[in-house]
Amino acid sequence: MNISVVQDTIFHNKFSLNCRGKIIPLSTPLVMGIINCTPDSFHGDSRAQSIDAAIQMAQKHLSEGAAILDIGACSTRPGAEAVSLQEELARIVPVIEALRKNFPDALLSIDTFRSEVIEALLPFGIDMVNDVSAAADEKILQLISGKNIPYVLMHNAEKAEYRNITAQVYQLFQKKSEEIKRHKINDVIIDLGFGFAKTLEHNYKLLDALPFFSNLNLPVMIGVSRKSMIYKVLNTTPDKALNGTSAVHAFALMKGGNILRVHDVKEAKEVIDLYLKMKNR
């Protein structure tokens, strides 16, 4: 048997998430569907620039098998214009209010790096925080302390300068996850930050090293959907990178990924279903 399959079988069976008292098992991988309340996210089909558009996208994601919806209102693509706090709040608060009303049982993850956004959204019952800043704003941790809201810790850096990228990313996760848990946040999910201040070589080295990160005993979220690490290799564009995304998703699952954060829920769910069929044969 392929050793990477053995490793990932061990890895997948360890985890569950407590989302405000609702236990979400990670014994099989989950899909997180992206909803971008922005006019400039790098993949146009993920943009929901009105409340109705966000509701329609949420309905589509959920019907296709998304376990979690990840909603953001501030693009993190390279070269994106800075968005003020006021603009981010104006974009995301009405959407979260509408999603909670229309999908009361849906798990809502908030993609932000600002504590003010989390504070404004807590009354609607958010279920997860997806922080691309690696806890730069410690008040986020204070706000969700003791509330059974899982926290996604993403690796980010200002420049792609590493002596040993695998070791350095691992060390950051080790240090930061311990700090986060001291804030009475029991569930920490790591995201290796594919595409954030990393070269193509860095991205694929980290992807191949996923089994090594299992030593942290933390679930891993894979965020590669339609990113440049895929479309640049294939000499194409984000809009034409779905097939490449599915291929990388399959590889990431075999290496131990637990959550796929995606633009295309149906296709990601199919990859998971086929992976499970092969794993359980």
3-state secondary structure 19-55: ECCEEEECCCCEEEEEEECCCCCCCHHHECCCHHHHH
φ and ψ at 68, to 5 degrees?
Answer: -140, 145
Burial bucket for residue 127 (CB in 10 Å: 0-12, 13-18, 19+): buried
CA distance linking residue 135 with residue 93, whole number of Å: 21
Average pLDDT over residues 42-54: 71
Q: What's the pLDDT tens digit per position in 210-245? A: 999 999 999 999 999 999 999 999 999 999 999 999
Q: Residues with catalytic annotation?
A: 227, 261
Q: At what angle do helices 200-208 and 242-255 cross, to 10 degrees?
A: 40
CB contact set of 188 (below 8 Å; sequence gap of 6+): 150, 151, 153, 177, 180, 181, 218
pLDDT attached to residue 10: 42
Residue 118 and residue 133: Cα distance in Å, rounded?
Answer: 14
Decide: 130 and 187 in contact? Cβ < 8 Å: no
Q: What is the mean pLDDT of residues 53-58?
A: 95
Beta-ladder partners of 34: 70
Provide mean pLDDT across the span 41-68: 84
Give the start-to-end residue ranges of the domains of the chain: 3-279
Report the chain's mean pLDDT, rounded to a whole number.
Answer: 91
Give the highest mean pLDDT range of 6-20, 68-82, 147-161.
147-161
- Kindly report the CATH number that applies to the domain delimited by 3-279: 3.20.20.20
Rounded to two decimals, what is the model's pTM?
0.91
Backbone Cα Rg of the chain: 17
